[in-house]
Amino acid sequence: MVIMSTSIHFSKRFFKSLPLLVGLTFGSVAAQAEPVDLVSLNLSGAGFAPHVLPGINGTNYIFPVESYFQQWSARGIKTFRFPIIWERLQPKLGGPLDPTYVALIDRTFGYAQKHNIKIILDLHNYARYRGQVIGTSGVPYARYQEIMTKIAQQWSNQPALYAYDIMNEPNGALAYWATAAQYGINGVRAVDKTRPIIVEGNGWSSATRWAEWNDPLLNLKDPSNNIIFSAHSYFDENAGGSYGDVDVNKLDVMYGVNRVKPFVEWLKKHGQRGYIGEFGVPDNNPRWNILMDNMLAYLKENCVPASYWAAGPGWGNYFMSVEPVNGQDRPQWPTLKKYMDNTSCTEIGPKKAGASTTPTPSTPSVGTTPVATTPSTGTGSSTAPSTSVPPAATPITTTPVAGVDGAVSSVINNFTNADWLNGVYRKKAGFSIPATAANKAAFIVGASVRLANGEVRKISAVQIGTNMAVYLDGAPVNGSIVGYPNKLALVSAVLATSPINDFTNADWLNGVYRKKAGFSIPGTSTNQAAFKVGKSVRLANGEVRKITYVQAGKNLGVYLEGAPVNGSTVGYPKTLAALAN
């Protein structure tokens, strides 16, 4: 969670800065096979109120007493991610470790060992020391390597130490973090040659945006070949954990899966191992637990472990805490308990491409949403359920077809069986279409489609396998009328059209960022309401992309997924259109 002085993100990051809610002052797994604990907890407390330095244990921050270890071990939790603060551990940069803070961490390891719990020791500092980014003149890389060496020297002999999480949520450090991470690895490996080193990513370690910022981490070198990459995932708009403006009833049940999938796919693409170091949902609506359930099922299928935020002392009624209140379990606990499994995986994943990686969605009413699965391709009878989407009978082009309202349209797969008629599901409004890259990008939950009879409906669920099943709101439709050989067309209503700012310099060309897909537009109230993270925009060349980040000020910096674009083609005097998805 985040230090307020270094971030404008108030959310779970804000609460991490001010969390003492009950009577306190606010101020490897390596390559060898061994069981993987798929669900663990963040046991926070020692990292509370990081802006109050050095702070006092029990007043500004609080180390958990033995009862927390005893309680959670009895409930089946066997791994804690344990945040600590650099400035408290080492009050003067380059100086000795603080003996009081060290003794409290020693005590923590003792409790963990006694109750058979492993510790991931997390330096919870956002790539900063006293607000200055590692690698800048105030915090040389060598000082960061030094503190990681000191940490390894102090605790590498602790039997309960599982791994080093060398930095929590680096941010605002694109030019520095990849280099700093190598120094951190070097610092640990000077002492500890065996334990995993967990490396988080730039951009607050966001799972959804991981691939945008973190390819440079692929160049990290570990002589022990034991790096685990770690991303964080929350389900609100900015992934910060505030959950203030999000209506869970409008989110698809696979929303959590879609949040972590970019990270998992990046790991698969590059042959890396991964871990979700933080995730959490509110306690105010049971539907949050459905989204979390589906995400955990997806992570389990890929052998990617995850640590829930949060447990430990001082949380009170904090909406994401799983600490029991007055002896009563919190609403999130049953879902977490369901995935407390250390027998399914013998090494950290993800599993490589080949096995299915999209779970059947958990829904409030079992069976109301059919699942698009792929029939068996082996000999003998198929064991696939009757709702499966078979392979397309004819070759399909992967080129988007210009459709209604200038959007994308797709052919409908040509097959009929007891459950499907001309590629249209008989029991619910649903269509089977090819799972091309263009279709997967365009036909998403919340988007509207136009059927061959002119009817417009919203997409309520999507299942992706060999083909793609797109389910719509409303009653079933007639495959004889709207099925193959007709097409399904995406309809994108325009929320707002904005001019692109007219300026050019070393970084921008006609208001288009040269190094990444980004546009500068006026910061009007209309634009701020329309151009939001997760929305799609249409460029002047007709290309449609999703917004991944918005930087607000007098003007808006609107950054998109994908490769940089050409300002000569899509920049000023062209316009940028925000779509209703």
Please give the structure tokens belonging to residue 330. Answer: 């919190």
Q: If you ran DSSP here, which 8-state letter would residue 202 be given? A: T
**Residues with Cβ within 8 Å of residue 493, at least 6 apart in sequence:** 405, 448, 579, 580
Residue 355: is its pLDDT beyond 50? no
What sign does the dihedral 577-578-579-581 (CA atoms) show? positive
Averaged over 502-517, what is the pLDDT?
90
Q: How many C-beta atoms surround the C-beta of residue 31 within 10 A?
A: 9
Q: Which residue has the higher pLDDT, 20 or 2?
A: 20
- Listed by start position, the domains of the chain span 4-338, 401-491, 494-579
Q: Considering only residues 537 and 199, tell me which one the structure prediction assigns the higher pLDDT.
A: 199
pLDDT at residue 536, as a whole number: 85
Strands ordered across the beta sheet of 494-499: 494-499, 575-579, 536-538, 544-552, 555-560, 518-522, 512-513, 508-509
Closest by CA to 1, choosing from 173, 241, 213, is: 241
Position 449 pLDDT exceeds 60? yes
Task: Give the pLDDT of residue 4.
Answer: 30
Q: At what angle do helices 66-74 and 99-114 cross, to 10 degrees?
A: 30
Q: How confident is the model at residue 445 (pLDDT cuts 50, 70, 90)?
A: confident
pLDDT at 435: 86
pLDDT bin (cut points 50, 70, 90) of residue 443 is confident
More confident site: 48 or 581: 48
Structure tokens at 298: 């997806």
pLDDT at 17 over 50: no
pLDDT tens for residues 312-330?
998 888 899 999 998 899 9
Q: By CB neighbour count within 10 A (0-12 exposed, 13-18 middle, 19+ buried), where does 553 fall?
A: exposed
Region 106-120 average pLDDT: 97
DSSP E strands in 422-543: the ranges are: 424-425, 430-434, 448-450, 456-464, 467-472, 487-491, 494-499, 508-509, 512-513, 518-522, 536-538
The vertex-278 CA angle with 276 and 282, nearest 5°, equals 125
Mean pLDDT check: name the lowest of 178-182, 277-281, 450-454.
450-454
Query: What mean pLDDT is reported for the chain?
Result: 83
pLDDT band at 553 (very low <50, low <70, confident <90, very high): confident
CA dist., res. 154 & res. 143, Å (int): 16
What is the arithmetic mean of pLDDT over 41-68?
92
Q: Which whole number is the average pLDDT over 450-463?
A: 85
H or E segment and range at residue 89 = helix 86-89
Give the pLDDT score at 9.
Answer: 35
End-to-end CA distance of the chain: 31
Which amino acid type is present at position 47?
Answer: G
Is-contact 167 123, C-beta < 8 A? yes
| Backbone dihedral region for residue 169 (phi beyond 0: left; psi -120 to 50: alpha; all else: beta) | left
pLDDT in tens, 262-271: 999 999 999 9
Closest CA to 118 of 36, 50, 54, 52: 36
pLDDT over 90 (residue 406): no
The answer to whether residue 378 scores a pLDDT higher than 70 is no
Residue 396 has pLDDT above 80, yes or no: no
pLDDT greater than 50 at residue 290: yes
* Amino acid at the residue 253: V
Query: pTM here?
Result: 0.62
Are 36 and 29 in contact, with CB atoms under 8 Å apart? yes
- What's the CA gap between 302 and 13, in Å, rounded? 28
Q: Does 4-338 carry CATH code 3.20.20.80?
A: yes
pLDDT exceeds cutoff 90 at 68? yes
**Average pLDDT of the segment spanning 335-344:** 92
pLDDT of 537: 87
Runs of H (alpha helix) within 120-243: 141-155, 177-189, 210-213
The pLDDT of residue 535: 85
Residue 390 sits at the vertex; the CA angle it makes with 389 and 391, to the nearest 5 degrees, is: 125
Q: CA torsion, points 191, 195, 200, 206, in degrees to nearest 10?
A: -170
Mean pLDDT for 440-459 is 82
**Considering the chain, what percentage of its residues have pLDDT values greater than 90?**
56
Report the pLDDT averaged over residues 257-280.
Answer: 96
pLDDT for 18 beyond 80: no
In terms of Cβ atoms closer than 10 Å to its own Cβ (0-12, 13-18, 19+), residue 284 is exposed
Q: What is the mean pLDDT of residues 442-462?
A: 83
3-state DSSP assignment of residue 328: strand
Rounded mean pLDDT, 112-132: 96
Share of the chain above pLDDT 70, in %: 83
Taking only the tens place, the pLDDT of each residue in 184-202 is 999 999 999 999 999 999 9
In this chain, the answer to whether the domains covering 4-338 and 494-579 adopt an identical fold is no
Query: Could you give the CA distance from residue 45 to residue 49 in angstroms, rounded to a whole number?
Result: 9
Helix/strand/coil for 409: strand
Q: Which CATH number is associated with domain 494-579? A: 2.40.30
Tell me the one-letter amino acid at 386. S
Q: Which segment, 25-39, 60-74, 239-253, is predicted with the most confidence on average? A: 60-74
Tokens representing 195 are 């334990």
Mean pLDDT, rounded, for 474-496: 85
Q: Which one-letter amino acid corresponds to residue 291?
A: L
Q: Partners of 464 in the beta sheet?
A: 468
Tell me the C-alpha distance between 119 and 43, whole Å.
10
What does the block give as tokens for 236?
Answer: 């609100």
Distance CA 566, CA 387 (A): 44
At residue 161 the predicted structure's pLDDT band, cuts being 50, 70 and 90, is very high
Ranges 12-26, 296-310, 394-408, 462-476: which has the least confidence? 394-408
Q: Is 411 in contact with 484 (CB distance < 8 Å)? A: yes
State how beta strands 274-280 and 227-234 pair: parallel
Residue 73 has pLDDT above 90, yes or no: yes
What are the distances in angstroms from CA 569 to CA 510, 512, 544, 564, 574? 9, 10, 15, 12, 8
**Rounded to whole angstroms, how far apart are CA atoms 458 and 379?**
39
pLDDT > 90? residue 39: yes
Q: What mean pLDDT comes out for the span 27-45?
A: 72
pLDDT at residue 377 is higher than 50: no
**Confidence band for 491, pLDDT divided at 50, 70 and 90:** confident
User: What local confidence, expressed as pLDDT, does residue 368 receive?
Assistant: 32
Average pLDDT over residues 32-47: 86
The residue ranking higher by pLDDT, 98 or 506, is: 98
Contact 372, 468 (CB under 8 A): yes
pLDDT of residue 13: 56
Mean pLDDT of 267-291: 95
**Token pair of 238 as six digits:** 């900015």
Q: In the CATH scheme, what is the code of domain 401-491?
A: 2.40.10
Q: What is the pLDDT of residues 204-234, one digit of tens each?
A: 999 999 999 999 999 999 999 999 999 999 9
Number of helical H runs and strand E runs in the chain:
14, 27
How many angstroms separate the CA atoms of 239 and 317, rounded? 21
- 41-50, 361-370, 558-567: least confidently modelled range: 361-370
| pLDDT at residue 21 is higher than 80 | no
> Which CA distances in Å does 255 have to 208, 229, 234, 238, 361?
11, 22, 10, 14, 10
